[in-house]
């Protein structure tokens, strides 16, 4: 009986297993998982208050229950089992290990207490076994670097009241820690302008619906953007930002969520603990020939800083790796004959959970063709 190993039981691995299990009933599919439980990003990355997104795990449970699918937990490829052992034992190997490591900003002060990568922070509030004891220092003034959906997820989770979090999938210790925090300001920094933000409209709009928070956008940042040339989704985003900019200040809001555009982080300031973030107006970068060092800096006092600037895939001993891109080295998903990669470890940390389904479909077609013709190259 031919067999296939899938490394990683997150969305990419589970979608692929489902398609293969349905189409190739005479093929054994083993899914290797490093942790004691499956589903990767679907449980440790998706925000704890977005329960509708997490529902995909119900579908994955059914995949794991199929006769020709086996989940092998607590097994790390590269340590518990080697890459060469895998290649010896399986007809095909597919890496779907995601991108678990936080990218670094590379600015001074990133090591200070109070500075966290978004992967570490979101895994903490999602009770990931390796991060559940992080106990982050959440002070009154929180900064989040990045203009993606992860940045907005974190801002929303932090700004929600205990009541709004009632239905959220939070452990008791995380719930208590969040309830004890006394946040009054959340600053979201994007190094480019509003038209280049990568967050989505529903996430942006949701911020404006929170019980105790008010969203602030400086109308200056919206001046000069030629919206007519933008795609409809960007136009709607700008309209939403414009609406935030025009909404009169609400003195009763306990938390101000302030967007800062064109704000390049330069240094996190503090001796052992974070005290402030220095930022540069990125619009000045190309204005004249002055060196970046001589451009004026703004400094904003902060107690907590979360960098939500993307992730990379850690290398696995023996598996060809592209260190520059932080993912496996591959040609259209093929690492070497009989070995493939799928999801974030293939394309980088971009795309939503359903993106993995269509990509898994394409790879499954190829694997089926190969196995039916026994064509390994």
Which residue lies nearer to ligand NAP by CB, 68 or 126?
A: 126
Spatial separation of the C-alpha atoms in residues 119 and 103, rounded to whole Å: 9
**Per CB under 6 A, 310 contacts ligand NAP:** yes
Q: Whole-number minimum distance, CB 374 to ligand NAP, in Å?
A: 37
- What distance in Å separates the CA atoms of residue 121 and residue 131, rounded to the nearest whole number? 8
Pick the stretch among 294-302, 315-323, 343-351, 362-370 that binds ligand NAP (CB under 6 A).
343-351
Nearer to ligand NAP, 64 or 152 (CB): 152
Note whether 103 and 10 are within 8 A (CB): no
Instruction: Tell whether residue 342 is a contact of ligand NAP (CB under 6 A).
Output: no
Residue closer to ligand NAP by CB (options 108, 173) is 108
**Total interface residues for ligand NAP by CB under 6 A:** 24
Residue 203, interface with ligand NAP (CB under 6 A)?
yes
Contact between 49 and ligand NAP per CB under 6 A: no
Q: Is 297 among the residues that bind ligand NAP (CB under 6 A)?
A: no
Largest CA distance in the chain: 69
The span from the CA of 373 to the CA of 55, in Å, is: 37
Window of 60-68, 192-200, 224-232, 242-250 that interacts with ligand NAP by CB under 6 A: 192-200
Least distance (Å) from ligand NAP to the CB of residue 349? 5
Is 351 an interacting residue with respect to ligand NAP (CB under 6 A)? yes
Stretch that binds ligand NAP, among 5-13, 132-140, 186-194, 226-234 (CB under 6 A): 186-194
Q: Which of 149, 240, 304, 313 binds ligand NAP (CB under 6 A)?
A: 149
Cβ within 8 Å of residue 209, ≥6 positions away: none
- Residue 63: exposed, middle, or buried by beta-carbon count in 10 A (0-12, 13-18, 19+)? buried
270: how many CB neighbours lie within 10 A of its CB?
19
Residue 205 binds ligand NAP (CB under 6 A): no
Is residue 190 a contact partner of residue 263, using CB atoms and an 8 Å limit? yes
17 binds ligand NAP (CB under 6 A): no
Range in contact with ligand NAP (rule: CB under 6 A) among 87-95, 155-163, 185-193, 214-222:
185-193
What are the angstrom distances between the C-alpha of 163 and each of 137, 207, 212, 268, 297?
A: 22, 16, 11, 33, 39
Query: Segment contacting ligand NAP (CB under 6 A): 57-65, 147-155, 241-249, 283-291?
Result: 147-155
Among 175, 177, 192, 283, binds ligand NAP (CB under 6 A): 192
Is residue 308 within the footprint of ligand NAP (CB under 6 A)? yes
Q: Which of 11, 146, 326, 343 binds ligand NAP (CB under 6 A)?
A: 146
Q: Is 168 in the site for ligand NAP (CB under 6 A)?
A: no
The secondary structure of 80-111 as a DSSP string is: TB-HHHHHHH-SEEEE-----EEPP---TTTT
Q: Which is nearer to ligand NAP, 32 or 312 (CB)?
A: 312
CA dist., res. 327 & res. 98, Å (int): 9
Count CB neighbours of 200 within 10 A: 15
Instruction: Give me the least distance between CB of 154 and ligand NAP, in Å please.
Output: 9
How far apart are CB 4 and ligand NAP at their closest, in Å? 27
Binding test (CB under 6 A) with ligand NAP, winner from 74, 176, 243, 350: 350
Identify each DSSP E strand in the chain by its residue range.
Answer: 3-7, 28-32, 69-72, 92-95, 101-102, 115-117, 141-145, 185-189, 213-217, 255-260, 263-269, 276-281, 297-301, 304-307, 311-312, 321-322, 327-328, 334-336, 339-341
Count of residues for the chain? Answer: 377
Query: Which of 311, 270, 262 lies closest to 119, judged by CA?
Result: 311
Contacting ligand NAP (CB under 6 A), which of 105, 215, 217, 367? 105
Contact (Cβ atoms closer than 8 angstroms) between residue 17 and residue 43: no
Q: Which residues bind ligand NAP (CB under 6 A)?
A: 105, 145-151, 153, 190-192, 196, 198, 200, 203, 265, 308-310, 349-352
């Amino acid at each position: 009986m031919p067999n296939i190993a899938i490394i990683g039981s997150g969305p990419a691995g589970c979608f692929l297993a489902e398609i293969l299990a349905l189409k190739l009933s005479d093929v054994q599919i083993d899914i290797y998982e490093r942790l004691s439980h499956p589903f990767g990003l679907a449980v440790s990355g998706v925000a704890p208050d977005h329960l509708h997104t997490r529902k995909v795990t119900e579908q994955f449970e059914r995949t794991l229950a199929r006769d020709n699918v086996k989940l092998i937990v607590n097994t790390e490829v590269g340590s518990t089992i080697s890459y060469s052992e895998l290649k010896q034992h399986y007809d095909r190997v597919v890496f779907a290990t995601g991108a678990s490591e936080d990218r670094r900003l590379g600015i001074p002060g990133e090591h200070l207490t109070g500075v966290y990568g978004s992967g570490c922070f979101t895994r903490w509030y999602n009770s990931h076994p390796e991060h559940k004891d992080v106990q982050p220092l959440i002070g009154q003034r929180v900064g989040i670097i990045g203009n993606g959906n992860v940045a907005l997820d974190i801002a929303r989770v932090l700004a929600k009241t205990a009541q709004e979090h009632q239905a959220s999938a939070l452990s008791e210790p995380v719930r208590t820690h969040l309830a004890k925090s006394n946040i009054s300001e959340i600053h979201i920094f994007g190094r480019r302008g509003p038209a280049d933000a990568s967050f989505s409209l529903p996430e942006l709009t949701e911020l404006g619906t929170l019980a105790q928070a008010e969203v602030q956008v400086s109308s200056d940042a919206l001046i000069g953007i030629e919206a007519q040339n933008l795609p409809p989704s960007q136009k709607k985003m700008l309209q939403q930002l414009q609406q935030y900019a025009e909404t009169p200040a609400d003195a009763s809001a306990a938390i101000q969520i302030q967007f800062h555009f064109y704000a390049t982080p330069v240094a996190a300031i503090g001796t052992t603990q974070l005290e402030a973030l220095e930022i540069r107006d990125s619009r000045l970068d190309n204005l004249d020939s002055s060196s970046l060092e001589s451009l004026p800096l703004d400094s904003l006092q902060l107690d907590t800083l979360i960098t939500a600037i993307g992730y990379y895939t850690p290398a696995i001993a023996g598996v060809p790796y592209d260190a520059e891109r932080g993912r496996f080295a591959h040609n259209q998903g093929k690492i070497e004959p009989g070995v493939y990669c799928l999801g974030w470890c293939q394309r980088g940390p971009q795309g939503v959970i359903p993106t993995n389904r269509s990509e898994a479909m394409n790879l499954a077609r190829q694997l089926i063709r190969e196995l039916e013709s026994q064509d390994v190259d």
